[in-house]
Amino acid sequence: MSESTAEHAGGCDHEISHPVFAALYDLLPEPAQLRSHREYLVQDLSGRTLDLGCGNGELFPYAVDASTGDLEYHAIEPDPHMRTRAENNARETGLPVDLRDARAESLPYPDDAFDVVVAGVVFCTIQDPDAALEEVARVLKPGGEFRFLEHVRADDWRASGQDLLTPLWRRAAGGCHLNRDTIDRFVSHDAFGLEEIERTGVGVFPASPVVRGRLRRNRDGLFGIGTE
């Protein structure tokens, strides 16, 4: 980890614990449209994979169905209430998961550790998304893939509404920010080349629009969009 990344991660010292949100999250029905996007995140999944902030493990059954047979699945989840649910979900689905109590800003893995990193609606809750993205770049192998599904800041008058609602929403929804320019952050990072990006039909204001895509870790330590 670079010195600057370590400084960012060291500043994330508040406890992440949302028992009420975790309990309510179990009761929320999953929109039918969201299933296809979870399938997108795990399509033909193989190799060493990191689920970045797995929540209650809702991606686990999709990973089991999509696995090509050589999948080694790792996951982090800093909220103990969500992590307990994820452990139960892993047992129920039969997915062997190395699940750790860790934050995205300070991943407990060596450099170039993973073939794929998956983020499913998680960068909205990370305290320091820039530090977390640096960590994703660090632990991905050159040529490795970063797959994401995230709701982002709107690009019209609704952005002002998101700004107004975010302080209350963040307290009620497990630290979720409505107004982050997450995709701009992803595609402008020098460590990645853009593979694809798509605005989906999922999402209702204020948690919209929702965007999915894939980035490729640049090879040979070279930076710049599209570098091979």
Structure-block tokens of residue 2 = 């670079």
Q: Output the pLDDT for position 200.
A: 84
Which of 3-7, 20-24, 126-130, 172-176 has the weakest average pLDDT? Answer: 3-7
Position with higher pLDDT, 173 vs 112: 112
| Residue 42 CB-density burial (10 A; 0-12 exposed, 13-18 middle, 19+ buried) | buried
Query: What is the three-class DSSP state of 127?
Result: coil
Q: Do the Cβ atoms of 123 and 175 come closer than 8 Å?
A: no
For residue 43, the tally of other CB atoms under 10 A from its CB is 11
Query: 53-73, pLDDT tens digit by residue?
Result: 999 999 999 999 988 779 999
Q: Pick from 170, 179, 114: which is nearest to 147 by CA? A: 114
Instruction: Determine the pLDDT at residue 20.
Output: 54
8 Å CB contact between 52 and 104: yes
Instruction: Please tell me the distance from the alpha carbon of residue 145 to that of residue 72, in angstroms, as a whole number.
Output: 15
Question: Is the confidence at residue 122, as pLDDT, over 90?
Answer: yes
B/e letters for 180-200, b = 16+ CB within 10 Å, e = fewer, are bebbebbeebebbbbeeeeeb
215 pLDDT higher than 90: yes
Q: Do residues 82 and 60 touch, judged by C-beta distance below 8 A?
A: no
Dump pLDDT digits (tens) for 138-148. 999 999 999 99
The residue with tokens 């399938």 is 39
For 3-12, 18-27, 77-86, 100-109, which range has the lowest pLDDT when averaged over its residues?
3-12
pLDDT given for residue 224 in this prediction: 42
C-alpha span between 79 and 14 (Å, rounded): 11
Q: Given pLDDT bands bounded at 50, 70 and 90, which one contains residue 98?
A: very high
Highest mean pLDDT of the ranges 7-11, 31-35, 113-117 = 113-117
| Res. 79: pLDDT tops 70 | yes
pLDDT at 227: 37
Which residues have CB under 8 Å from 219's CB, separation 6+? Answer: 142, 143, 227, 228
25-32 mean pLDDT: 65
**Residue 34 pLDDT level (bands cut at 50, 70, 90):** confident
Between the alpha carbon of residue 211 and those of residues 34, 186, 189, 197, the distances in Å are 12, 12, 17, 7
Q: Which pLDDT belongs to residue 226?
A: 39
66: tokens are 């999509």
pLDDT value of residue 206: 87
